[in-house]
Structure 1
């Protein structure tokens, strides 16, 4: 019988070349202006995911490795924008970087509709963000910025060090979403932010 650690490593290794191929098609819609750096980050999403996952394989927690494997083996789809508004619990999973794999606890997030515009916000925790959501390619592009604690939210472009770009997709039928942030500016190689609707 294969040791659980090696089984997890084998599973994740097989995923390295094939996980979530649809996310790589997340495109920047016409009229959305990004810095050259952030255009490169979005176009390098698959590379960031593979590099982050390769480092995450070295994590000692089997539960954390299995969590990531489950997320990255679920077929993604582009969510219908009209289904997104609501309240969510959300957690950040950091692949690679300072540590091999870091899984945070659950916080509160929300997606809000304001006319035809959609915004996403992380409401609780020490590192929060706000952003706009735009349908693009096979995913939904997120363009936003981070802020600490109860500091006022930043807008995209206010401080390039705080700018965030990512690609949002739906996983399965339960309303779960995952936002992939390639090559964040701090701490990690690739971030996954998981959203689960609060019923």
Structure 2
């Protein structure tokens, strides 16, 4: 082997050795960044985005309606006292949302003629529709039906329509003449009220009482 050939072989060996060393010490590529899918929370629509200005005005003056209605009915002190927390403006309790189901309901009108009038009970139903609850009065002369929006832990806002005899329940709409707006509150165990200030049927305040309609449990016969 000539000297020139030997020199080339040594140079090639040194080049391969240094190349292997570079390959061995080359840093590993960084791991790929994790891909995180961000899903925005669905924000419920606030009731003020749905309520008409006239109904917002009525609801904002609910306290005035209570004061005026109870003042007009002051001579019915015994009847008002007998209703307990139902006619107490400050009786709202936490967890206002009622459970879906059938309810026995009745209406007490304040501020009309007479200044306090209680009507016979009727049937109404609470149901779930997506993220909202719905409430409908199923019989009687005037039948409100609509949706309930959470406003705070102690109250919900009812926005609906009023159906007359022979009509289907009317939805809340631009037809202000048939709209109904009220505040739903829990006032005792298994007892709710829907207060409708300045109702279109006259008077100062309509108070709907809601009590769960629980089927009677048959008592087993004694042996």
Mark the runs of 5 or more structure 1 residues left unpaired by the alignment: 1-27
Query: Contact 1:91 / 1:195 at 8 angstroms: preserved in 2?
Result: yes
- Counterpart in the other structure of 1:172: 188
Q: CA deviation at 1:68?
A: 4.1
Q: Provide the alpha-carbon RMSD of the alignment.
A: 2.1
Larger strand proportion of the pair:
1
User: Secondary structure of 1:38's partner?
Assistant: helix
Between the two proteins, the alignment pairs up a number of residues equal to 168
User: Secondary structure of 2:112's partner?
Assistant: coil
Among 147, 152, 159, the residue aligned to 1:132: 147
Q: After superposition, what is the alpha-carbon deviation per residue over 1:88-122, rounded to whole angstroms, capped at 9, x for unaligned?
A: 00000000023211100110000011232211000
Query: Contact 2:108 / 2:208 at 8 angstroms: preserved in 1?
Result: yes
Q: Measured at CA, do residues 158 and 78 of structure 1 come closer, stay the same or move farther in structure 2, by a change above 3 Å?
A: farther
User: Secondary structure of 2:177's partner?
Assistant: helix
Structure 2-normalised TM-score?
A: 0.69
- Counterpart in the other structure of 2:72: 55
Among 128, 143, 160, the residue aligned to 1:144: 160
Larger radius of gyration between Structure 1 and Structure 2:
2
Report whether the alignment pairs 1:159 with 2:191.
Answer: no
d(CA) in 2 for partners of 1:128, 1:80: 22
Q: After superposition, what is the alpha-carbon deviation per residue over 1:165-195, rounded to whole angstroms, capped at 9, x for unaligned?
A: 001011122x110001111122210110000
Query: Contact 2:96 / 2:155 at 8 angstroms: preserved in 1?
Result: no
Query: Contact 2:159 / 2:182 at 8 angstroms: preserved in 1?
Result: yes
- Counterpart in the other structure of 2:21: none
User: Secondary structure of 2:49's partner?
Assistant: coil
**Which structure's relative contact order is higher, taking Cα pairs within 8 Å and 6+ residues apart?**
1
Mark the runs of 5 or more structure 2 residues left unpaired by the alignment: 1-44, 215-223
